[in-house]
Amino acid sequence: LLPGHTETEPVVELTPTHVRIGEPTFGIAPGDASLRLTLRSPSRDALDAFTERCEAMLTELAARSRLRLRLSRHEEFPVTRSDADVNAVIESCARSLGQETFRPPTPLRWSEDFGHLVTSRGAMFGIGAGVDHPPLHSPGYDFPDELLAPASDLLERVVRHYTD
């Protein structure tokens, strides 16, 4: 936990996505480095507070060590909030097609840019490939084409619910 974090705050997940430090040499301190991270949280406030604490800690460390530091943020996106009634419609449509539904106990971490689309009532859902399939965004992931038909059927059923 970072200094100042309490157990009651929403969790912020930090994933290192790229690290580069110096050149392959022996006995020479690196002259530069690059670190890229992905931060996720179900709470925008928690994410902002965590980011500010990280930036303050890095700035202080760099100043103490007489290092230059450049911080930047890229690809920020709003939190995705799914509407309970829309979720119920999606689940009902899936059941009417004989599709199994599962509601995870914690929010999905992979909402990314979807938050830009759900500015009014909406919901995000996933079409799972099963627990034995490599996770999305992992090196072994390959989209299973057999999901296309059931996913299309479900999307069509949801659209018809709102347009018929």
**What pTM was estimated for this model as a whole?**
0.67
Residue 48: pLDDT over 50 = yes
64 in helix, strand or coil?
helix
pLDDT for position 117: 78
Mark whether 13 and 43 lie in a shared domain. yes
122 vs 116: CA distance, rounded Å: 11
Residue that is last in its domain, among 11, 45, 76 = 76
The count of structural domains within the chain is 2
Q: Are 1 and 14 in contact (CB under 8 A)?
A: no
pLDDT of residue 113: 74
Query: Is residue 9 within 8 Å of 46, Cβ to Cβ?
Result: yes
Q: Let me know: does 16 contact 37? Beta carbons within 8 Å.
A: yes
pLDDT of residue 157: 98
Are 54 and 99 within one domain?
A: no
What are the tens digits of pLDDT across the range 15-41?
899 999 999 999 998 989 999 998 888
| Contact in structure between 30 and 22 (CB atoms under 8 Å) | yes
Q: Are 112 and 79 in contact (CB under 8 A)?
A: no
Query: Domain check: are 94 and 68 in the same one?
Result: no
Asked whether residue 116 falls in the same domain as residue 155, the answer is yes
Asked whether residue 2 carries a pLDDT value surpassing 50, the answer given is no
Structure tokens at 22: 């110096």
Same domain, 121 and 150: yes
Q: Which domain holds residue 107?
A: 84-163
Rounded Cα distance between 67 and 60, Å, is 10
SS3 state at 35: strand
